[in-house]
Amino acid sequence: MCPTTNVVTKNSSDSPSDTKIPPLPKKPTFDLNLPPTNSDGGNCSKNKRKRESIREESINAAVQKPPVMFTHQGSLIEVKESSPWVKTEFLGQGAYGSVHLAKCNNQERAIKTAHISRALSLMDEGKILRRLQSPFVVGCFGEEIVREGNDFHYNLVLEYCPNGSMGDFLKNVVSLLVEVPVKLFAKDVLSGLKYIHDRNIIHCDIKPDNLLLTMVFDQVLQIDRYLMKLGDFGLALEKGTVAYQNALGHRRGTKRYMAPELLSHGIVDFSVDIWSFGCSFLEMLSGRRVWADYLHLDYDDFVNLIGKSNLVPYVPNFLSAAAQDFLKKCLVKDPHARSGINELLNHPFLRLDV
């Protein structure tokens, strides 16, 4: 027990003679128990070293500053003084910030970077991607906030797909794609959409630029081939969340791939991804931009034409009957009559033996 001290309080009305100082105790009010020592003083030396060690740890603990943490929607992100990822190549620019190829311990990753003041949408993307683990969705390997001078930057660490996007591929292709690889790509993307839809997530921006390619060995087909993955979840929404409720009635996406109900009324549901998927694969199979004859219209005229008329994208008749039917089932104006993912995955077009 700690020794106690009697405190004497002096009032202003008290005279010096009234102040009573307690007498000193005849015996100590505490006992000091020391461990027995060996004749060589070993225990004393050990205890001294132990006390010095504890004292040194206490000093270090007092000097070390607690980590600075940033809070976003209930998640804590530690602010680092430097990043282990070394940026080696600029890959692209977006509304949120920039993308760089980065390396660390012989690993390559794509780093999406934004100034902390403009990073909220990128943080939302990271929150969604951290939940997803599928070969058909670009992988997420974490996030960090890094101090750079007086500024702070948010980094989202993503899987690097070295073969670019389907958008890049279409810009460089010199002839129409044959249907067989397109069938494989369609199965990849539909598998990715099924995976995220089963988790109540709507991508909201399916287009060739957001479909990423990486080379894999297909165990079923026993061949090397490109695997297509869903990327860029910057506009994605999770049904039932506050963000989803706030998004209703507002358009989101890239206009030429946006579903009519999204353009005209801001309706966001799983079916908008099916329409965008149909537009993307129509471009792959036809070699022509969807709505190419109307892209000169200003935004309001385009919305009125595509969102409020009966017009649907033209599906060329040089495609196989199965391909035409597959695309037309994706591009149905009424979202309730539009085919779902399971129906499309079982469509004859996706069979590789026909």
Looking at the structure, tell me whether residues 121 and 225 fall in a common domain. Answer: no
CATH number of the domain at 219, please: 1.10.510.10
Q: What SS3 state is found at 117?
A: helix
Q: Where are the alpha helices (DSSP H) in 136-289?
A: 166-172, 179-197, 242-247, 260-265, 270-286
Whether residues 294 and 180 share a domain: the answer is yes
The one-digit pLDDT tens for each residue of the chain (354 residues) are: 444 333 333 444 444 444 444 444 444 433 434 345 454 555 555 555 555 555 555 555 555 566 676 676 666 777 888 899 999 999 998 877 899 999 999 999 999 999 999 999 999 999 999 999 999 999 999 999 999 888 999 999 999 999 999 999 898 876 778 899 999 999 999 999 999 999 999 999 999 999 999 999 988 888 999 999 999 999 999 999 999 999 998 999 999 999 999 999 999 999 999 999 999 999 999 999 999 999 899 989 999 988 888 999 999 999 999 999 999 999 999 999 999 999 999 999 999 875
Q: Give, to the nearest 10 degrees, the angle between helix 179-197 and helix 270-286.
A: 170
Domain coverage including residue 280: 166-350
Q: How far apart are CA 317 and CA 294, in angstroms?
A: 20
Do 186 and 151 lie in one domain? The reply is: no
How many other C-beta atoms lie within 10 A of the C-beta of residue 25? 8
Give the type of residue at 229.
K
Which residue, 159, 182, 199, sits at the end of a domain? Answer: 159
Largest CA distance in the chain: 117
CB 228, CB 189: distance < 8 Å: yes
Among the candidates 128, 159, 190, a domain finishes at 159
Q: Is 112 annotated as a binding residue?
A: yes
Residue 139 and residue 157: Cα distance in Å, rounded? 9
Q: At what angle do helices 321-330 and 270-286 cross, to 10 degrees?
A: 150
Residue 304 and residue 188 in one domain = yes
For the chain, how many structural domains are there in total? 2
Q: What is the CATH number of the domain that holds 82?
A: 3.30.200.20
Residue 37 belongs to some domain of the structure: no
Last residue of a domain, one of 137, 159, 181: 159
Q: What are phi and psi of 105, to 5 degrees?
A: 55, 45
